[in-house]
Each structure stands twice: as C-alpha cells, then as structure tokens.
Amino acid sequence: MTGASTGRQSGFTLIELLISMAVVGIILISLTTIFVSQTRISERTQDRNEVDSKLRSIAEVVMQDLQQAGSVATFDGVTQPIYRNAELGTGCSRSERSGCVVVGANSIDLSVYYMTSLVRPSGGTWARGAAACRRIDYQIQDDELFRRDVACGDTSTAFSDYSFATGVDDLSLSFICHDPSNVVGQIAECYTSTTYPREGTVVITGHADSARNQTQVSVTLSTPLPNLRPPVDYEQVPVPVNP
C-alpha cells in the first residue's frame, strides 16, 4: 500500500498537466504579444526617423535656394538684371526684390530667382543677364516632389524629368518682415509695408513610403534671407577738408 501510494504522488495527474500547459500557453501568448508590440513600435520609430531625416534634407535644400534668392552677378563690371514678371507686376533685380521668391503661382508651389556667376555668357547687357538668370521651381504631384533649376526664360511646364523626392505631402512657406508677429505668405507683402523679409520658414510634411505604418511627419526649418534686402541709396555728403 505504501509503495503504490508513493508512486501516485511522484507523477502528474491529467488535470495538473493541463493546468501546466495552460500556464505555459498564457506565458507564450503574453511574450508573443509583447514581441509583436515592440516590433511595431520599433518599425514606427524607424519609419518616423527615416521620414524625418528625408524631410529635413529636403528642407535644407529649400533653405539653400531661398538664401540664393535675389543674388546678383556682375560681368565686365556691369551688374546684370534678373527678371521682370509683367503678369504679377513684380521683379527681381538689384533695384527690386518683390518677385525674387514667388509662392503658389501658375500651379507651382515655389519659384526662386537668382543670378548665377557660373555662366559667362556673351552679347549685350540683357543677353548676359538673361543667360545667367536662373529659376528654381518646386511642385508636388501625387505625393512626389519635383525640383528643377532652369533659365528664367524657360517656358516649359513639364516636371516629369525633375523628380526630387517621394512621400512628400505638402510644402509651405512663410516670411517674417520686421518682427516675429508680422508673418506673411508672400515676400511682396513685406515690401508693400515699407520693410523687407528678414527670415523665411519652410514647413514640409511627408509620410513613410512603407505600407506597414501610416506615419506622417512635419519638419520646420528657418533661414535668414540675406539677398532680399532692398538697395539703399546713400546721399553723397561732402567730406570736410581740414584747413
């Protein structure tokens, strides 16, 4: 009797085995759930970091273009004109800065005008200016950002050969004229207020190209606008001559 009783106590009953399997199953399910959750969090973090890095790189390029806006070039001792837009009534030259940056005109999200010193054209004054005048256009089509750097007189409308980045949803700009509370959407508004744009802010919104997560990110960067200050005319004051 004693031996039989001892044998029964040293084994597992069916109920005990089922309970043990249930506990192990619950632990495995919990571990699997935690692993899946952590994997998804890691994927979302990775996607967000990738989108943030991409958008930040794009915003930095846009800022570099804005910093060039309104720059002029001198050939043979003559400062060349940049361009004049009769339709908008604005221009970009040494004597005018109101049209050096145009936002949301002619189905183009952003246009930046500048004069490059890398072009050494020949011909008359206007011919030299027209050849050296450059226009940078940005346009978003179906979540794809296009950027083209063409001559100011370029009349083409195609962007298909100028793909710059995918997964971009929106590109918006604002400008500070003379104080942080005076924010406008077009630099021309600063000049009509007898001031000029001091700073430009770029906001780019995009999403992850991966279909596993719907991750959307916005990046905001600001830059000074060194070439958009209007020219200043100084009166020639006679220099006093010491007796």
* Grouped pLDDT means (10 residues each) for the chain, 243 residues: 51 78 85 78 78 92 93 64 68 83 89 79 52 88 93 86 93 88 87 85 87 79 89 48 49
Let me know: does 133 contact 126? Beta carbons within 8 Å.
Answer: no
Q: What is the pLDDT of residues 2-37, one digit of tens each?
A: 544 544 555 678 787 888 888 888 888 888 888 777
